[in-house]
Amino acid sequence: MRARLSEAATVTPFLKPPRAAILYLKDPRERFWGLVHALDDAGIVMQGVDLDSFDSWLRQIAEGGEAPSPAIVFSPLLRVEKLMADVASGSIPSLHDLFMRRMGRPLSEFLGLES
């Protein structure tokens, strides 16, 4: 158990809140994109949208339409399959980069987390 906590301690600074990430959940399978607000032994708190609806959500808010507000969700670690930092891969932009290009500001600012 101690080795596992040590492993988590090295990962957590990389995902220090607020950090854009993709959360993969099991039972039932879900994928969620957004900002990590908290990550501890109990679970993870994120604010964002279901990954399958990301494109339509982004299009709605970019066009000034009525888009649902990003949800704040808690997922217990028992459901977490993996958590990946949302980073670019070569010429492929991250989802956060796509958000910033369309909206002209980072997600944290859009959500009112920074002034």
Domains of the chain, CATH where assigned: 2-110 (2.30.30.100)
Alpha-carbon distances of 115 from 36, 53, 61, 108, 112, rounded to whole Å:
18, 27, 20, 9, 7
Q: How far apart are CA 75 and CA 25, in angstroms?
A: 8
Using an 8 Å Cβ cutoff, are 44 and 36 in contact? Answer: yes
Using an 8 Å Cβ cutoff, are 20 and 94 in contact? Answer: yes
Full-model pTM: 0.80
Output the tens digit of pLDDT for each of the chain's 115 residues.
334 444 444 455 666 667 899 999 999 999 999 999 988 889 999 999 999 999 999 999 888 878 778 999 999 999 999 999 999 999 999 999 999 999 888 888 888 876 5
